[in-house]
Amino acid sequence: MNAGCRWVLVAALLLMLVGCGGETEEAAEDEPELVALEAESREPPAEPAPEVSPMDAPVTIEFDASLSSDRRLVVEGQSNLPEGARLRVVVERELSGVRWQQRTTLAEGRFRVGPLGPGSGFPDGGYRITVNLPEATVQPEAVRRRIGEQGEHLSGPLVGGSQHGLGQVASASRRFLVGSEPRRTNDQAEVLEVE
């Protein structure tokens, strides 16, 4: 190929590049108009979420426990905490400090967990069952709106400060005795019998 043909080829390529650049600029100029038209055709913004009133009654958490035939524990209860509140149920053996826990969510004011405990069942002895409402930081947004970002709308004898300084939490606890030997005790405890 001679030098003249090369120059013609280079010139043709440059013209194509310049031509492509011009189209790109026009397309770029058109894009804002398209975006503006799309923005105008969108639906109006959704209405803000309705105001939710903070909790105005003291927190209540009530529960019962029962032993199944395999000597494992089922805990059922109710609370006036907001719908969807995340709860944690902990069963602790007093003698050894061994714990079993399960998380649950409050639905229609009620909760249920279990079966809890070792596969061989609970040995005779004393146990403490605690139902906790953890910190507001782990709660769904709808629950936080009712209890406050730091649990500041919680009140009543079940409410106290978080162990980690993350605001207020709620907790209810009861002692249970399992088996026949502990029935001789004189302290405050509910005796559970195998069903």
Q: What is the CATH number of the domain that holds 156?
A: 2.60.40.10
Confidence class for position 34, pLDDT limits 50, 70, 90 = very low
**Is residue 83 domain-resident?**
yes
> Quick check: helix, strand or coil at residue 191?
strand
List pLDDT tens digits, range 15-28. Answer: 665 555 544 444 44
Backbone CA torsion sign across 128, 118, 65, 90? positive
Say if residue 38 is in the same domain as residue 95: no
- At 183 the pLDDT is 47
**Is residue 4 domain-resident?**
yes
**64 in Cβ contact with 174 (< 8 Å):** no
Number of domains composing the chain: 2
Mean pLDDT (whole number) for 61-76: 90
Say if residue 72 is in the same domain as residue 9: no
Question: Could you list the residue range(s) of the whole structural domain that residue 152 is in?
Answer: 61-192
**88 in Cβ contact with 134 (< 8 Å):** yes
Mean pLDDT (whole number) for 115-134: 89
Say if residue 120 is in the same domain as residue 72: yes
From 147, 134, 123, select the one nearest 101 (Cα to Cα): 134
- At 140 the pLDDT is 92
pTM above the 0.95 mark? no
Say if residue 73 is in the same domain as residue 21: no
- At 39 the pLDDT is 45
**Is residue 52 domain-resident?**
no
- Over 80: is that where the pLDDT of 152 sits? yes
- At 179 the pLDDT is 79
- Over 70: is that where the pLDDT of 52 sits? no
List pLDDT tens digits, range 76-90. Answer: 999 999 999 999 999
- Over 70: is that where the pLDDT of 8 sits? no
- At 91 the pLDDT is 93
Mean pLDDT (whole number) for 176-190: 60
Q: Dihedral of the CA atoms 36, 38, 39, 43 (nearest 10)?
A: 160
Say if residue 149 is in the same domain as residue 178: yes
- Over 80: is that where the pLDDT of 65 sits? yes
Q: How far is CA 134 from CA 53, 147, 165, 169, in A?
A: 20, 11, 12, 6
CB atoms within 10 A of CB 11: 10
Average pLDDT, the chain: 77
What does DSSP assign to residue 166? S
